[in-house]
Amino acid sequence: MPEKTRDELVQIDFKPPEREWMDPAIDFEARRGTWSYPAAAKNLRYLGFPNPREWSPTDEDWQLPENWQQIIHDGLAERLNKYRSLKLFLDVCVRCGACADKCHFYLGSGDPKNMPVLRAELLRSVYRNDFTTAGRILGRIGGARKLTPAVLKEWFYYFYQCTECRRCSVFCPYGIDTAEITMLARELLNLVGLNINWVIEPVANCDRTGNHLGIQPHTFKDNIEFLVDELEDATGVRVDPSINRKGAELLFVVPSADYFAEPGIYTFMGYLLLLHALGVDYTLSAYASEGGNFGLFTSHDTIKRLNYKIYHEAKRLGVKWILGGECGHMWRVIHQYMDTMNGPADFLEPPVSPITGTAFTNAAATKMVHVCEFTADLIKHGKLRLDPARNDHLRVTFHDSCNPARAMGILEEPRYILRSVVNNFFEMPENTIREQTFCCGGGAGLGNDENMEMRLRGGLPRANAVRFVHEKHGVNRLACICAIDRAVLTTLMEYWVPEVDVSGVHELVGNALAIDGEKPRNTDLRGRPLAGGKGDADA
Amino acid sequence: MRVAWSFLLVVLLAAVAFFGADAGGQALFGVVLPYVAMVVFLVGIAARVLSWARSTVPFRIPTTCGQQRSLPWIKPASLDNPSTGRGAAARVLLEVFAFRSLFRNTRSELRPGGRFTFSPDKWLWAGALAFHYAFLVVFLRHYRFFAEPVPAVVRWIEGLDGFFQVGLPVVYLTDIVLVAALGFLLWRRLEDARLRYLSLHADYFPLALLLGIAVSGVLLRYFVRADVVRVKELAIGLVSLHPAVPQGISPLVFAHIFLVTVLIAYFPFSKLVHMAGVFLSPTRNLANDTRMRRHVNPWNPAIVGHTYAEWEHEFHDKLKASGIPLDEE
């Protein structure tokens, strides 16, 4: 927790500074709590990334390669040809300001360079200088800036202060997507060795062990067995998930946080219970043991490198298709990048639910189905015995995670599930949900402790909306379909709305699911007493 | 004081043409420069669009603003999250003709106690739409100078535009709307501290230029009363590629024409290229169908991740000890 109190943190000054934005000056020492530590050299070395060294943003000299300006110039030139998005977005912005107050970091910090338009101008001004005639001739009058060390330091600060949530892109009349700008700016920063450890270490781990957390296969198995025991304690039912089993019908890939830490583990227990109740023939993989992909926060090449494992493993195991757990950026990668990067998945079959026979035609090419799509279909076909009263100790609201909402559009499936498994469901205000949902403040690799003040600031709009439904409807549970959310929102709620817990949707499914051979359920999956049962719940 | 410089520049440009034409530069301002500007515009815009088109679209990255098409019983948002090319085309057209994304605009306010409120804010949408449509109608109305006889559709637009029959000559609604909308767009840029903070010369100059064009045009129609017959002679000469400069045209006409000339020549090098760019925006013009149909990246790099065999080799003993099946014993 930061030293600042809630009351201090909400004293947000939206008055822009006197100093013009084109004159950069970031005092990293004074801004501790709002930036992330650089990547450790060992991780960069493992990955073969440029310029591994130990350094700190508070250093005067960032130990850049001698020709760093040329490297970035050439990198930008290459990307302007490769990405129409980048070139167009740098050219067409009219600075109308519609995006300005849509960014959670701007709302929570009042820092004008967190307005998406100015975040993009940080790069755009250099683009003008290096690549446009008008910029070359007019210089500063034409909005052009040379790439100086101070400008580069500002890039590092602000492009690692964007969670790539795409909320601004919803409101932009030209669809300018700051996530795209940030992704490509981070690629440029990576070329000269400017990256943050909270991104690069998970990438290195994932490449080596199969998951961001660096969990090795024997520990993976131990973790799963521990959760199987816990689940048996809670339900009396012993499930039997297999690992790396050839010939299973489905490969099930989840974000690693789901089998590693609270509260994700309860979501994982929900998945296992569901798949067991239906007798689905599935396997987990200790090799492809990560659905998430921190490559998305590094570079397109890194996305591909990490994502490679999922199809590679599906092919090796000979499964028919792939089921994916609840995770936000994971689904951006699977939905918008996986098939393009690592497809075609012609060794898999078009996905069909083994229980209902429903063909998931929307996943016919990629052959990977979201677990909420899978479960919503089951409920619609009456394949689950559900007792929503087992969630009566909870008053639930739903947080649309950024990527599933704005890079996929999975809005109704989780809501349909929630309405089927809980009796008390309440929506947050309409400008804060669905495609207008607010980020948790810790996506895109920013969910680390040293960045805590900025996380809490960025999460303020989301926390505000939760507090609203907490006070109005007594909401005490924030459900979401993202592993980063489950980690980051938990901290956010502890700070802003401590009465509210965070969980995945399938934890609530697991609570409500009636299953053959279960013992009388007096507690939920967390071991908390149910409402009306032995010892009334605190709801 | 970026805004002051922009207006000063426009006044200077107008003055140069006004006095320049008066001093015998009619052919320069009436013929030579308009032709040059037209060539610059056509070549510049074509080059710009081609440069966008040359850049590839490696990934399908629509911003989804509604429910995806998934299960048959869930209604998809076919415009805000299109799953077909036709839906995506409709989305772009709504963006172009109705500024649909801008229509979503909200205004956030921080209330005491650290509470944010978000309320609909249609002013930017209304101001932008009013300006663009008024400008379009004024643009189309000017066709009367370039065609003899005046096409029926132009007369029809004029009739509608002057529907209220106020004043002599009849006041066109779009003239009022155009000036008012430009004034509003300028006012909001100056009034809102954060917009003022981020605005560049390149934001004020087009507004100043357009206001200069609109005001000089209004002067010519309602107050100075240009000799329209001679102006039309000049205009028809230009489009028929037989340029001639009739004598006795007011220098204010040349000031008006010169400002338009500057706008045309400036267009391809400015933010005004959003007019063409909006059609190509990858977050708007692509269908959200990447799981249904494979999108091909023309330069897909040959990257192979850490393979299973490498992984099994590294963790062989641990895998064996924990009883996880192996490919090789």
- pLDDT tens per residue, range B72-116: 999 999 999 999 999 999 999 999 999 999 999 999 999 988 899
Q: Which of A175, A413, A431 sits opposite B281 (nearest CB)?
A: A175
Beta-sheet strands, E only, within A338-468: 368-370, 396-399
pLDDT for B329 equals 64
Distances (CA, A) of A495 to A2, A31, A90, A110: 10, 20, 38, 20
Q: Which of A492, A404, A443 is nearest to A161 (CA)?
A: A443
Q: What is the ipTM of this complex?
A: 0.96
Whether residue A65 has a cis bond before it, omega within 30° of 0: no
Cross-chain Cβ contact B306/A12 below 8 Å: no
Residue B138 domain flag: yes
Cross-chain Cβ contact A380/B71 below 8 Å: yes
Q: Tell me how far the alpha carbon of residue A10 is from its chain's centroid.
A: 25
Nearest-CA distance from A312 to chain B in Å?
8
Classify B314 in phi/psi space as left (phi over 0), alpha (psi -120 to 50) or beta: alpha
> Cβ contacts (< 8 Å) between B195 and chain A: which residues?
95, 97, 100
Which pLDDT band, with edges at 50, 70 and 90, does A3 fall under?
confident
Is the pLDDT at A534 greater than 90? The verdict is no
Mutation to test the B interface, candidates A7, A218, A456, most B Cβ within 10 Å: A218
Nearest-CA distance from B26 to chain A in Å?
29
DSSP state, A523? Answer: B
Nearest-CA distance from A68 to chain B in Å?
24
Question: pLDDT tens per residue, chain B (329 residues)?
Answer: 789 999 999 999 999 999 999 899 999 999 999 999 999 999 999 999 999 999 999 999 999 999 999 999 999 999 999 999 999 999 999 999 999 999 999 999 999 888 999 999 999 999 999 999 999 999 999 999 999 899 999 999 999 999 888 888 899 999 999 999 999 999 999 999 999 999 999 999 999 999 999 999 999 999 988 889 999 999 999 999 999 999 989 999 999 999 999 999 999 999 999 999 999 999 999 999 999 999 999 999 999 999 999 999 999 999 999 999 999 86
Nearest-CA distance from A348 to chain B in Å?
13
> Cβ contacts (< 8 Å) between A436 and chain B: which residues?
104, 106
**Domain boundaries, position B298:** 2-321
Cross-chain Cβ contact B55/A86 below 8 Å: yes
Is the pLDDT at A416 greater than 90? The verdict is yes
Question: Number of A:B CB contacts under 8 A?
Answer: 323
> Cβ contacts (< 8 Å) between A209 and chain B: which residues?
311, 315
CA atoms within 13 A on the CB side of A75: 18
Mutation to test the A interface, candidates B281, B304, B312, most A Cβ within 10 Å: B281
Cross-chain Cβ contact A97/B192 below 8 Å: yes
The 10s digit of each residue's pLDDT in B272-314 is 999 999 999 999 999 999 999 999 999 999 999 999 999 999 9
Secondary structure of residue A285 in the 3-state scheme: coil
Q: Which of B68, B87, B88 is nearest to B77 (CA)?
A: B68
The 10s digit of each residue's pLDDT in A330-361 is 999 999 999 999 999 999 999 999 999 999 99
* Segment A1-14 mean pLDDT: 85
> Cβ contacts (< 8 Å) between B300 and chain A: which residues?
340-341
Count structural domains, chain B: 1
Q: Which helix (H) or strand (E) holds B311?
A: helix B308-314
> Cβ contacts (< 8 Å) between A14 and chain B: which residues?
110, 193-194
Residue B326 domain flag: no
pLDDT for B148 equals 87
pLDDT for A538 equals 41
Q: Which of A101, A335, A380 sits opposite B290 (nearest CB)?
A: A335
Residue B217 domain flag: yes
Using CA atoms, how far apart are residues A292 and A305, in angstroms rounded to an integer?
A: 13
The 10s digit of each residue's pLDDT in A465-493 is 999 999 999 999 999 999 999 999 999 99
The pTM (predicted TM-score) of the whole model is: 0.96
Secondary structure of residue A396 in the 3-state scheme: strand
Q: Which of B281, B297, B308 sits opposite A287 (nearest CB)?
A: B308
The 10s digit of each residue's pLDDT in A304-322 is 999 999 999 999 999 999 9
Residue of chain A minimizing CA distance to B280: A88
Residue B327 domain flag: no
The token pair at A111 is: 């820092």
pLDDT for B165 equals 83
Beta-sheet strands, E only, within chain B: 106-111, 115-120
Average pLDDT, chain A: 96
The 10s digit of each residue's pLDDT in A127-166 is 999 999 889 999 999 999 999 999 999 999 999 999 999 9
What residue spans of A57-176 are helical by DSSP H? 68-82, 84-92, 104-109, 116-131, 133-138, 149-159, 167-171
pLDDT for A4 equals 87
Residue of chain B minimizing CA distance to A345: B294
* Burial status of residue B88 (CB atoms within 10 A of its CB: 0-12, 13-18, 19 or more): buried
Cross-chain Cβ contact A413/B95 below 8 Å: no
pLDDT for A533 equals 59
| pLDDT above 90 coverage of chain A, percent | 97
Cross-chain Cβ contact A143/B195 below 8 Å: no
CATH of the domain at B184: 1.20.950.20
